Amino acid sequence: MQSSDYCGDEEYSIRCTGDACRGDEVRFYRAIFSGSYRRASFEGFERVTGKIISDSYGSAKQQHTFTILLGDGTKTRIKGRNLYSNGVYRKPWADQNARQEALDEKHERGDSARAYRDWRRAFEGEHRHHNHF
C-alpha cells in the first residue's frame, strides 16, 4: 500500500493530521528503510496502530515527539513531522470534552515551548554580538 492511499477506515475514521494528542488511538503508515544511515534504501511502508501515551517538546528546537504504545505492548517514539507526514487517523473518543482538554493542554505546552525558544534565540543573538576578546 502506498501511504497516500490510506484515508482512514471504519475503526480509525477521524483525520487528526497535525492535531494528535495524548490518549488518541491512532493508525498511520510510516516509511521503512534498510541499510546504513548514509546509504539507506526505501523498502516501503508499514502500518502502525497504537495509543499515544505521551508527547513532549525537545528543549533545543521544540521538536514535537510522540510516544506510542503499540498493540504488542512495545513503545515507539516518533517525531511529529514524521507522524503527520503521511496522514494519521484516530478512533472517536467516548468523551470528546476529555479529548479537547488534552488538546488544549498540548497546545499550551507548545506555545510555551515556542515562546521560550524565541526568547532564547533573541538572548543568544544579543550576547553573540557583545562579546569582545
Where residue 91 sits, what CATH number does that domain have?
Answer: 2.30.30
Residue 25 lies in a domain: yes
Residue 3 lies in a domain: no
Residue 107 lies in a domain: yes
**Radius of gyration, CA atoms only, the chain:** 18
Cα pseudo-dihedral 19, 26, 49, 53, rounded to 10: 80
**Residue with the three cell numbers 473518543:** 93
Residue 118 lies in a domain: yes
Task: List pLDDT tens digits, range 90-106.
Answer: 999 999 888 999 888 88
Task: List pLDDT tens digits, range 15-60.
Answer: 999 899 999 999 999 999 999 989 999 999 999 999 999 988 776 6
Instruction: Give dist(CA 130, CA 73) in Å, integer.
Output: 52
Residue 2 lies in a domain: no
Is the pLDDT score of 1 beyond 80? no
Is the pLDDT score of 113 beyond 80? no
Residue 32 lies in a domain: yes
Say which range, 44-53, 74-83, 111-120, has the weakest mean pLDDT: 111-120
Instruction: Tell me the CA end-to-end span of the chain in Å, nearest whole number.
Output: 59
Give 105's contacts (C-beta < 8 A, 6+ positions apart): none
Supply the pTM of this predicted model.
0.73
Short-list 86, 73, 96, 78, CA closest to 23: 96
Domain total in the chain: 1
Q: Which residue has the higher pLDDT, 111 or 79?
A: 79
CB 52 within 8 A of CB 67: yes
Is the pLDDT score of 112 beyond 90? no
Domain containing residue 31: 8-128
Instruction: Give dist(CA 81, CA 11) in Å, integer.
Output: 24
